[in-house]
Structure 1
Amino acid sequence: MTDDAFGGLVAALDPPLIVVTTAVGDEQAGCLVGFHAQSSITPERYCVWLSKANHTYRVALRADHLALHFLAEEDLPIAAHFGTLSGDTVDKFADLPTERGVGGVPLLAGWPNWLVVRRSALLDEGGDHVCLPAEAVAARHDKPFTPLRLSQAGHLQPGHGNEERHDPPTERAAR
């Protein structure tokens, strides 16, 4: 197998993008995610893969709940906000109105399509992302949407490279 063959196959999938948010105590975190999928119909389960380089990953290690905000094509600015800034140095929620959801997760105020999940496990196979299988506990679907896809946001420069690794606790939590 070649890297080109693998890359070509997965690039053709063009996954929809979501913003994942979570919190532990007063520490909030959020990031742009392209690796996510429904994993069971009954019971309702969803998996999210978080980069080990991200501040959100390190907060999610200590969190029970995550909020998944489904992005529409017109949501590129929020994708850029959560995808290009690093939560290690910037409070991504400072200028964004939020509401508290189940388990204390920050929900983007008025967001029309979201899912809150309770983390049930963590699977780390040694790659640059970890899988968080989770149980759906709350949802909102107010309007149909055409998902924002990776190909539409591929020009964004991530706040961290996939080769970066950090040790918990997070830098902001240590201050």
Structure 2
Amino acid sequence: MRSLREAFGQYATGVAVVTAALPGGGRAGVTVNSFTSVSLDPPLVLWCLSRRAPSAPAFLAAGRFAVNVLAADQEHLSRRFATPSPDKFAGVETGRGPGGVPLLAGALARFTCRTATTYDGGDHLIFVGEVEHFERSDGEPLVFHSGGYRAFATPERTATWAGV
């Protein structure tokens, strides 16, 4: 099992925090690297959550969620939302999206979604959401590869190409 996990880890991914507003005013948040676009028409995204995650019942009940794509300088948020805590949002700057969904300040992109469906994914739940609102900004992404955070390398432009 460990060697399979290490093999999966060879695929570099971005890092996101998925958040939800709960009935009664609570909030849930979890770090994921299993986020992808599914469709442009209708606009759909997908992410996965361990069935054993303490927040799994909250995300199942919430009905909507936000995917906050983290910037390179937000490793601290990735670690915070990956670690069990009574209040992962304490001291974190947030805004509110549709339905009160928490939005993390400084994220490279944010997608507010209505949960369209969930699927059985073995030891994980697969969430598919319909994008209701999105926004993006420029910057470098937080990247995860082989069990650690990595810097995103941008090739230096040393030549200007002209027509041949």
Check 1:7–1:103 CA distance in 2 against 1; reply closer, same or farther (3 A cut). same
- Among residues 125, 128, 144, which one is paired with 1:133 in the alignment? 128
Give the CA deviation at 1:96: 1.7
Instruction: Give the distance between the partners of 1:74 and 1:128, measured in 2 at CA.
Output: 31
Kindly indicate whether residue 148 of structure 2 is the aligned counterpart of residue 148 of structure 1. no
The one-letter code of the counterpart of 2:133 is A
1:63 maps to which residue? 62
> 1:153 Cα shift?
6.2
SS in 2 for 1:58: helix
How big is the shift at 1:120?
Answer: 0.6
TM-score, structure 1 normalization: 0.75
Between Structure 1 and Structure 2, whose CA radius of gyration is higher? 2
Distance 2:112 2:128 in 1: 12
Identity between Structure 1 and Structure 2 (%): 28
Q: How many residues were matched structurally?
A: 148
Which residue type is aligned with residue 146 of structure 1? E
* Partner amino acid, structure 2, of 1:31: V
After TM superposition, the structure 1 = structure 2 runs for residues 11-160 of structure 1, keeping only pairs within 5 Å, are 11-25=9-23, 26-84=25-83, 86-87=84-85, 90-109=86-105, 111-125=107-121, 127-143=122-138, 145-151=139-145, 154=148
8 A contact 2:35–2:47 mirrored in 1: yes
Gaps of 5+ in 1: 156-175
- Does the C-alpha gap of structure 1 residues 35 and 107 become closer, same or farther in structure 2, counting only changes over 3 Å? same
